[in-house]
Amino acid sequence: MSNHEAVELGHTQCGKTTFYWGKRTYIMGVINLSPDSFSGDGLGNNIEAAVARARHMAAEGADIIDIGGESTRPGSAPLSINEELHRVIPVLERLTVELSLPLSIDTYKLGVAQKALAAGANMINDIWGLKQEPELASLAARKEVPLILMSNQRDISPNHNIAFPDIISVVTSDLQKSIEQAMTAGVPKENIIIDPGIGFGKTQEQNLEIMRRLVELKTLGKPILLSSSRKSVIGHVLDLPADQRLEGTMATIAIGIARGADIVRVHDIREAVRVCKMSDAIIRGRP
């Protein structure tokens, strides 16, 4: 039995799109509206540039676009709700009209998520897995939208300096709590997606271990999102800046798919589409 056949995950409805898990790997394109994105692709308040990039991602084969206004780089200052709304809402309003793809809002703030869904977002991507704002689960339940729950250790290891005895056990336990919290709030099981949180309080060795052992998260019975694109772990291995981590990113995607990833969050869509298609042909037996 392969990694992808071990658990029947069914499907998730996101806007007008249905994700049939296990059939192929889905691709989430990243739109960063922060001026200080770690990956060097931050667009700030440039609405036209963001819309153009999203259109380009759609044309290249993205399945969903993830829009975030606050930088997640270590040490970055949190945004006020008003500033985050100022960045993301105009872009969401434009893309809702101009694209047929579903849109995800990358936020852990309830006020931002509420207005983003009203503006046309179809999914909530919470990098804190409900630790910062438990009410996001109730919102996702009421609005019947999928919810991505990420395992984030920055609350207990902000400087990546805690040597967890077994990082997969830590991540699994963390995600299990988030899943139970979401389902208690009324989020249907098919609307929960999990993300192990590459970076986010882990050491570089732990990041590599998570990707090597990703299949172990299949015990949670949820689709797995892998967000490794341009991350510092790639720079750590290759000794390259963020804008030169394409090949390293694609290696993590191919291996991630072999280890059970169902959706990948990436900056470079064209290349990711090709890697996913080839990997799916081998791993899932899809031509």
Annotated active-site residue in 265, 274, 277, 286: 265
User: Encoding tokens for residue 267?
Assistant: 């900056």
d(CA 223, CA 18): 13
Q: Rounded to 5 degrees, what angle do the CA atoms 191, 25, 244 make?
A: 115
Burial of 178: CB neighbours in 10 Å, binned 0-12, 13-18, 19+: buried
Question: Annotated catalytic, 265?
Answer: yes
Annotated active-site residue in 109, 231, 245, 259: 231
Question: Annotated catalytic, 231?
Answer: yes
First to last CA, the chain: 19
Contact 276, 25 (CB under 8 A): yes
Q: Rounded to 5 degrees, what angle do the CA atoms 193, 205, 199 make?
A: 40
Catalytic sites, residue numbers? 231, 265
